Amino acid sequence: MTKKTVRTPIRWLVLALAAASLCLGALTPVRMAEAQEQQRYQRRSILDFFLGRRYLEDSPQTPDAPQPRRQQRKKPPAPKAIVNTRTAPPLRAPVQEEPAVQKLGDAKKILIVGDFLASGLGDGLTAAFETSPGVVVEARGNVSSGLVRDDYYNWPEQLPQMIDELKPAMVVVMIGANDRQQMVTDTAKEKFRTDGWFSEYRRRVLSFGKEVTDRKIPLLWVGLPAFESDQMTADAVQMNQLYRNQVESIGGEFVDIWDGFVAENGSFIVTGSDVNGQQVRLRTSDGINLTQAGRRKLAFYVEKPARRLLGTQASPDLVRLDSSSLPGLGLPANPVEHTVPISLSDPNLDGGAELLGAGPPPMVLTRSPRDLLVEQGEMTAAPPGRVDDYRLPAAKTPAEVSVK
- Mind listing the pLDDT tens digit for each residue in 254-264? 999 999 999 99
Query: Residue 23: what pLDDT?
Result: 55
Mean pLDDT, rounded, for 30-34: 51
Cα separation, 81 vs 102, whole angstroms: 45
Task: Give me the DSSP letters along 228-254.
Answer: SSHHHHHHHHHHHHHHHHHHHHTT-EE
Give yes or no: residues 174 and 263 share one domain.
Answer: yes
In a domain, 282, yes or no: yes
Within this chain, do residues 194 and 293 fall inside the same structural domain, yes or no? yes
Query: Which of 51, 76, 91 lies at the terminal end of a domain, its last residue?
Result: 51
Predicted structure pTM score: 0.57
Q: Are residues 23 and 122 in the same domain?
A: no
pLDDT tens-place string over residues 205-255: 999 999 999 999 999 999 999 999 999 999 999 999 999 999 999 999 999
- What is the tens place of the pLDDT at every residue in 144-156? 999 999 889 999 9
Q: Is residue 220 domain-shared with residue 297, that is, in the same domain?
A: yes
d(CA 281, CA 119): 19
Q: What is the mean pLDDT of residues 351-373?
A: 70
Of the residues 311, 329, 363, the one at which a domain ends: 311
Identify the weakest region by mean pLDDT among 9-13, 66-70, 94-98, 108-112.
Answer: 94-98
Q: How many domains does the chain have?
A: 2
Interatomic CA distance for residues 220 and 223, integer angstroms: 10
* Residue 45 shares a structural domain with residue 112: no
Exposure pattern of 276-285 as b/e (b: 16+ CB <10 Å)?
A: eeeebbbbee
Asked whether residue 67 is assigned to any structural domain, the reply reads no
Determine, yes or no, domain membership for 197.
yes
Q: Are residues 34 and 117 in the same domain?
A: no
Determine, yes or no, domain membership for 256: yes
Summarised one tens digit per residue, pLDDT across range 105-131 is: 889 999 999 999 999 999 999 999 998
Report for 64-73, 76-85, 219-228: range of highest mean pLDDT: 219-228
Residues whose CB falls within 8 Å of the CB of residue 303, separated by 6 or more in sequence, listed in order = 125, 128, 129
**Residue type for 403, please?**
V
Least confident of 235-239, 279-283, 348-352, 363-367: 348-352
Give the pLDDT of residue 220. 97
pLDDT band at residue 61, thresholds of 50, 70 and 90?
very low
Q: Which residues span the domain enclosing 37?
A: 3-51
Q: Do residues 275 and 137 share a domain?
A: yes
Give the number of other Cβ atoms within 10 Å of residue 235's Cβ.
19
Distance, in Å, from the CA atom of 378 to the CA atom of 166, rounded to the nearest integer, reads 87
pLDDT of residue 270: 95
Query: Has residue 88 got a pLDDT over 60?
Result: no
What angle separates helix 230-249 from helix 195-213, to the nearest 10 degrees?
A: 50
Q: In this structure, is residue 126 part of a structural domain? A: yes
pLDDT at 46: 62
State the Cα angle at 282 between 221 and 180, rounded to 5°.
Answer: 50
Average pLDDT of the segment spanning 50-74: 51
Identify the residue with better confidence: 397 or 22.
397
Phi-psi region of 34 (alpha: psi -120 to 50; beta: other; left: phi over 0): alpha
CATH of the domain at 198: 3.40.50.1110
CB-based contact 222:174 (threshold 8 Å): yes
- Asked whether residue 131 is assigned to any structural domain, the reply reads yes
Asked if pLDDT for residue 94 goes beyond 60, the answer is: no
Question: Both 24 and 122 in a single domain?
Answer: no
Q: From its phi and psi, is residue 351 left (phi > 0), alpha (psi between -120 and 50) or beta?
A: left
In a domain, 228, yes or no: yes
Residues 46 and 113 in one domain: no
Structure confidence at residue 363 as a pLDDT band (50, 70, 90): confident
**Residue where one domain finishes, among candidates 257, 290, 311:** 311
* R_g of the chain, CA atoms, integer Å: 58
Residues 40 and 58 sit within 8 Å (Cβ to Cβ):
no
Flag whether 57 is in a domain: no
Q: What is the pLDDT of residue 384?
A: 80
Mean pLDDT of the residues in the chain: 77
Judge if 45 and 113 occupy the same domain. no
Tell me the torsion sign for CA atoms 27, 30, 31, 33. positive
Residues 275 and 257: beta-carbon distance below 8 Å? no
Q: Does residue 148 sit in the same domain as residue 265?
A: yes
DSSP string over 309-354:
HHGGGG-TT---SSGGGSPP-PPPSSPPPP-PPPPSS-TTTS---S
Percent of the chain with pLDDT over 70: 62
Within this chain, do residues 45 and 115 fall inside the same structural domain, yes or no?
Answer: no
Cα separation, 303 vs 295, in Å, equals: 12
